[in-house]
């Protein structure tokens, strides 16, 4: 696992640099810089909006006496998406932006819940 992470920490920045150079050659340096800044602003706005919505749903679950499992997974995905949006580059921005979109989060949440259930050897209902 450590080798995979080390490889990712090398390959992802190289891929980001390559994509930034390609985009810069296609649309110009200033436009590329502007696009990177704009994607960060949009990502920050989306993270705030989705994060607040998840926070409200978590509070409502707690008030009903339920454990906010769905909301906790969504919160982790939103945090991960926001972290990716902070990293400069188009690849991480796209992945981060996808994690901030509710339909994408719902699909990933279902995968995460199944994996947790398998590891815990229980069935999650709901």
Please indicate, yes or no, if residue 6 is contained in any of the structural domains: no
Neighbouring C-beta atoms of residue 78, cutoff 10 Å: 24
Does 23 score more than 90 pLDDT?
A: yes
Please indicate, yes or no, if residue 31 is contained in any of the structural domains: no
Residue 80 vs residue 117, higher pLDDT: 80
Q: Which domain holds residue 77?
A: 37-120
Please indicate, yes or no, if residue 27 is contained in any of the structural domains: no
Neighbouring C-beta atoms of residue 66, cutoff 10 Å: 13
pLDDT tens profile 47-106: 888 889 998 988 998 899 888 888 889 989 998 998 888 888 999 999 998 998 899 999
Please indicate, yes or no, if residue 125 is contained in any of the structural domains: no
Please indicate, yes or no, if residue 76 is contained in any of the structural domains: yes
| Domains: count for the chain | 1
For residue 114, the model assigns a pLDDT of: 86
| Distance from C-alpha of 98 to C-alpha of 84, rounded to nearest angstrom | 10
| Distance from C-alpha of 122 to C-alpha of 34, rounded to nearest angstrom | 48
Please indicate, yes or no, if residue 17 is contained in any of the structural domains: no
- Please name which of 101, 4, 1, 121 lies closest in space to residue 43, comparing C-alpha atoms: 101
**pTM greater than 0.75 (yes/no):** yes
CB 73 within 8 A of CB 45: no
CB 85 within 8 A of CB 92: yes
Please indicate, yes or no, if residue 106 is contained in any of the structural domains: yes
Please indicate, yes or no, if residue 102 is contained in any of the structural domains: yes
Interior angle at CA 44, CA 38 and CA 45, nearest 5: 90
């Amino acid at each position: 696992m450590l080798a995979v992470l080390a490889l990712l920490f090398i390959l992802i920045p190289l891929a980001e640099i390559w994509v930034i150079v390609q985009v810069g050659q296609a649309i110009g340096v200033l436009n590329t810089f502007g696009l990177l800044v704009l994607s960060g602003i949009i990502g920050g706005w989306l993270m705030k909006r989705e994060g607040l919505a998840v926070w409200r749903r978590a509070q409502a679950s707690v008030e009903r006496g339920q454990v906010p499992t769905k909301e906790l997974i969504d919160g982790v995905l939103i945090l991960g998406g926001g972290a990716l949006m902070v990293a400069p580059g188009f690849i991480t921005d796209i992945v981060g932006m996808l994690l901030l979109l509710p339909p994408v989060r719902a699909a990933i949440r279902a995968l995460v819940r199944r994996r947790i259930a398998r590891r815990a050897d229980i069935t999650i209902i709901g």
